[in-house]
Amino acid sequence: MKFISVILFSFATGFVALAQEIIWVRIMMYHTGGRPEVFAYVLGSFLAGIAIGSWWTRNLCNKKIGTSIISMMLFISSIVFYLTIGLISYFHTVFSGPYIYILVVFVTVFTGTIFPLLAHFGINTERVGQHLSWIYLFNIIGATVGSGITGFYLMENYPITQIIFFVSSAGLILSCLLYTSDAADERSSV
């Protein structure tokens, strides 16, 4: 992958991931009646999913996979995010207590694979530290912008159903862009 593409996708995936987390917090706050420990539980579940996804990436990279796995993981993450929010809304009495946080972990496992995969495929072996720093910086900037726009703008001006649709659609569009970018890079290298 071209390094500029890796940086831009790192920014965009950070944006989508933190937008999803903000939505999870909002949904769980509504679901539990605004209990104060919800943020800590969602954050812990989110970080556990990221950690499991990162661990899973090690196994994926040992299988000699291609770069299309990144777009597939983002696609799955967006679809599962959309479906689990619907499951919580529809079966709110079934998903109560700690079970509801398992859904957060499940969604973020797929999201957790994206950053390590971007680093794996996008880093030149001669400049590992510098390239990883740039990828990480743009991921953090994307995450900051994503949580800021979602929390301060979208949550104030749009209903939650539109925000969920927007974030899920953004993930799907980003997945398609990543897939087509990857296909174009393969054709140009041949």
- Contact (CB, 8 A) for 165 and 36: no
User: What is the structure's pLDDT at 95?
Assistant: 62
Smallest CA-to-CA distance from 28 within 98, 76, 77, 79 is with: 98
Model confidence pLDDT, tens digit, residues 54-80: 999 988 887 777 778 888 999 999 999
User: How does DSSP assign 123-163, residue by residue?
Assistant: --GGGHHHHHHHHHHHHHHHHHHHHHIIIIIIHHHS-HHHH
pLDDT at 51: 94
Confirm if 1 and 121 have CB atoms less than 8 A apart. Answer: yes
What amino acid occupies position 159?
P
For the whole model, what pTM was predicted?
Answer: 0.87
The average pLDDT across 169-173 equals 95
Where residue 65 falls (left for φ over 0; alpha for ψ -120 to 50; beta otherwise) is beta
pLDDT at 151: 93
